[in-house]
C-alpha cells in the first residue's frame, strides 16, 4: 500500500466510518486493527477539538486502551506521556458516569493539568515548533496497518 500524499485526509476517510461502526454497534464490531484506528481517531479528534482534558472527560474510559494502541503503532513518547496522565487517576481512568467524572476532576492533582498541556503540544504541535510533531500518529498508523 502506497502512502497517500495527505495523511490527515487519509486518516479521516479511513477512521471515521470505523468510529461510526463503533458507536452504532460497539467494540465487538471492530477487528483489532479497526479498534486501534478508532482509538487513535478518537484521541486525535478530542485533543484537536478541546485538548487532552477533553479527551479524558469525553473518552477517558478508552485511555488505557489508547496507550496500548499508541505503543502498537510505535508512538512510544506519546504512549509514555498518556500513561503518565492515566496514573493521575486512582483507577487509571475516569469513571463512566458524568457526575462521577465531574467529582473526580475536582480531586485531580495539578500534575494532571500540566501533563495534559504537555500532551497537547506533543500530539498537536505548537506555533513555537512550527507544528512539527515528534510522532506523526496518522503516518505511524498508516505504516502499522500496511504491515499487519
Is 78 or 11 the better-scoring residue by pLDDT?
78
pLDDT at residue 130 greater than cutoff 60:
no
Cα separation, 16 vs 98, whole angstroms: 25
What DSSP assignment string belongs to 58-86? Answer: HHGGGHHHHHHHHHHHT-HHHHHHHHHHH
pLDDT at residue 28 greater than cutoff 90:
yes
8 Å CB contact between 142 and 12 = no
pLDDT (tens digit per residue) in 47-103? 988 999 999 888 888 999 999 999 999 999 999 999 999 998 876 666 666 677 777
Amino acid at each position: 500500500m502506497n502512502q497517500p500524499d495527505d495523511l490527515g485526509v487519509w486518516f479521516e476517510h479511513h477512521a471515521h466510518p470505523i468510529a461510526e461502526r463503533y458507536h452504532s454497534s460497539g467494540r465487538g464490531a471492530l477487528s483489532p486493527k479497526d479498534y486501534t484506528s478508532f482509538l487513535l481517531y478518537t484521541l486525535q479528534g478530542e485533543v484537536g477539538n478541546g485538548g487532552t482534558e477533553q479527551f479524558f472527560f469525553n473518552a477517558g474510559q478508552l485511555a488505557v486502551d489508547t496507550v496500548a494502541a499508541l505503543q502498537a503503532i510505535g508512538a512510544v513518547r506519546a504512549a509514555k506521556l498518556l500513561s503518565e496522565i492515566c496514573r493521575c487517576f486512582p483507577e487509571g481512568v475516569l469513571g463512566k458516569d458524568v457526575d462521577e467524572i465531574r467529582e473526580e476532576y475536582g480531586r485531580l492533582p495539578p500534575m494532571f493539568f500540566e501533563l495534559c498541556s504537555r500532551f497537547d503540544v506533543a500530539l498537536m504541535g505548537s506555533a513555537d515548533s512550527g507544528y512539527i510533531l515528534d510522532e506523526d500518529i496518522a503516518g505511524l498508523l498508516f505504516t502499522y496497518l500496511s504491515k499487519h
